[in-house]
Amino acid sequence: MTVTIQRGALNGTMAVPGSKSDTIRAVLLALLSEGRSVIRNPLASGDGLSAKRAAIALGASITEEGNCWIVEGVGRNLRAPQTSLDLGNSGTATSFLSSIVTLAGKPVTLTGDEQIRRRPFKTLFDALGDLGAGVSVHNPNQVSPPVTISGPLHGGPVTLQGFNSQFVSSLLLASPFAETPVTVTVRNGLEKPYVRLTLDWMKRFGIEVANPSDYEYFEIPNTKTYRAGEVAVGGDWSAVAFPLVASALTPSELTITGLNFHDSQGDKRVVDILKAMGADIVEDHREGTLSIRGGKPLSALQEIDLADIPDALPALVVAATQAHGTTTFTNISHVRVKETDRVFEMSERLNRLGCKLVAGENELSVHGPTPIGGGTVSSAGDHRIAMAMVAAGLAAREEITITETECVAVSFPNFFERFEECGARIKKRHTEVHRREADCQN
């Protein structure tokens, strides 16, 4: 789908979807628990559905009741699927399941879309091999899916580079089922809030992991089981960034609902960053809301360290283009190996629209304020780039057209409808390919 965004503002109330990160952890931990779990407010699209389909393929029974998923888990008795597990665009599910499928008793093949088949997994696959798993990549020239993995995990010590928290979380989630206790040492760890999120979810399902050295060393007991239960998925703080930035840059009055301020999601920090830049944001922790009155001048921040919140880069870069001064984003090398190289993709698009960004390997400088011009850009199939460019479009002097926007459903279903309900003027045009796919489904 191609959309054209006109300059405008957001007014009213907007609910964000359930957290993608929370949903994937909840579904896979429910799979690994024996008995019935209830997951309230899951992300029922994109990556959330990829994790749900994988859990069913591995033996779980999942039914829907209102806004809940009822999961009958299988504990350690995973069923090896007859065909490959296709995880679409979900790097998180691919990472987590790379360790979890070692419980299936037989080899399991994981694959995904073109982006997943390009992403580097060598660090994780090497660590699994060190713990005794069999790992066979199908492309000898690239250590990425498709990959066939077999268990069991023998246990013992393992060390890995921590530039990708998903790899750390993957080992943590599966290690309780290893033959002996596992210890994980992390070198140069980044994205610590995501690891903390995993530990919090493991604790909800009955397993507490010793973490005596600030996310550099973990002791995981081989308890062989998780405890089923009822859990709630909070609003997605990663998704909050886009309406929040769009509102900060325009004369908006928007309230965002459904938030849990006690959640471990690291992207809550976007609120503090925008406040430091001068955005007028009011938090209501009791009601779980953020209210923003936009259009106020923003000031650049000398440095914004994204080591722990890489997913925030696309939205924050758009904000920085309209802030007075130079903002430098640091510790961003891991942002280059997400769904796309987001440093390159955002720099290329915004520079083409008249902004001033200078990218290095591990930092990005943004000089502002500069008017955002009009034009046509591609999302590169990356949901966060698509949503960031929508925020830019609301603040732009001319219309911005964005192609390949179906990808927003990965983390924010009904994204465009939510924005339109709050006053955004969006013209949509379905591509011929999209129309043919829709016709086939009817």
List, by residue number, the catalytic residues: 311
374 Cβ neighbours under 8 A, 6+ residues apart: 353, 396, 397, 398, 399, 400
367 sits in which H/E element: strand 363-368
Kindly list the distances between the CA atom of residue 217 and the CA atoms of 161, 194, 315, in Å, as whole numbers in the listed order.
12, 15, 32
Distance CA 37, CA 60 (A): 11
Distance CA 399, CA 86 (A): 37
Residue 376 has phi, psi (to 5 degrees) of -115, 130
186 Cβ neighbours under 8 A, 6+ residues apart: 159, 160, 161, 162, 168, 215, 216, 217, 218
Distance CA 160, CA 153 (A): 16
Nearest to 331 by CA among 361, 290, 301: 361
- Give the alpha-carbon dihedral of 150, 155, 158, 161, to 10 degrees: 50
CB atoms within 10 A of CB 334: 18
Classify residue 442 by burial, with Cβ atoms within 10 Å: 0-12, 13-18, 19+: exposed
Distance CA 308, CA 325 (A): 24
Q: Per the omega criterion (within 30 degrees of 0), is the bond before 152 cis?
A: yes
Burial state string for 85-122 with b = 16 or more CB within 10 A and e = fewer than 16: bbbbbbbbbbbbbbbbbbbbeeebbbbbeebbbebebe
Distance CA 244, CA 51 (A): 28
Task: Check: CB of residue 270 under 8 Å from CB of residue 312.
Answer: yes
Task: Check: CB of residue 20 under 8 Å from CB of residue 63.
Answer: no
